[in-house]
Amino acid sequence: MIISDIISLDRTECGVECHSKKRIFEVISEIAVKGNPQLNLSDVLSSILAREKMGSTGIGNGIAIPHGRIDGIENIVAIIVTSEEPIQFDAIDDKPVDIFFALLVPSEQTQEHLQTLSSIAKKLSDKNIVKAIRNAARKDQIIAALA
């Protein structure tokens, strides 16, 4: 999986003002549906929330990879959001999160889903990439850090 194939400026936000886990999921869902008329806001939010109830998607070091399965889409949709201030997220290391790399995956793409999660986790384990994302003042800088 090549991450640059699934990310885009129109699904990236930088320095969002947000103070709760639920609100960041709402922001992610709003961004997801903005450029994808086939997506329904409540379906996207419900899918992300349902997955989060199974266990936190906070992978540590201030990073979360919320994700959900969506019926009716053909390709993986990625949404990248950084928050102005870190949010309490019940991450694996109990640290607040400020980088959110969300994925919406077609319901039937189980193997691709796992490969994509692995690729993203690997990319975000690079301290230089994470530092560049945190220091980004513009959406294009986040995209460039991940390219």
Burial 61-82, CB ≥16 within 10 A → b, else e: ebbbbbbbbbeebeebbbbbbb
pLDDT higher than threshold 90 for residue 74: no
Greater confidence (3 vs 85) lies with 85
pLDDT level of residue 37 (50, 70, 90 thresholds): confident
Single out the residue of 53, 61, 62 nearest to residue 81, CA to CA. Answer: 62
Q: Is 83 helix (H, G, I), strand (E, B) or coil?
A: strand
3 state DSSP class of 133: helix
pLDDT digits (tens, 9 = 90+) for 90-131: 999 999 999 999 999 888 766 675 778 788 888 899 999 999
pLDDT score, position 107: 81
**Residue in this structure with the two tokens 């490969």, named with its chain if needed:** 115
The mean per-residue pLDDT over the stretch 53-70 comes to 94
pLDDT tier for residue 26 given thresholds of 50, 70 and 90: very high
Provide CATH code, domain 3-146.
Answer: 3.40.930.10
Where does the pLDDT of residue 15 fall: very low under 50, low under 70, confident under 90, or very high at 90 and above?
Answer: very high
Torsions phi, psi for 142 (to 5 deg): -65, -45
Phi, psi of 94 (to 5 degrees): 65, 15
Domain locations in the chain as residue ranges:
3-146
C-alpha span between 77 and 126 (Å, rounded): 22
Catalytic residues: 67
pTM across the whole model: 0.92
Average pLDDT on 4-24 reads 92
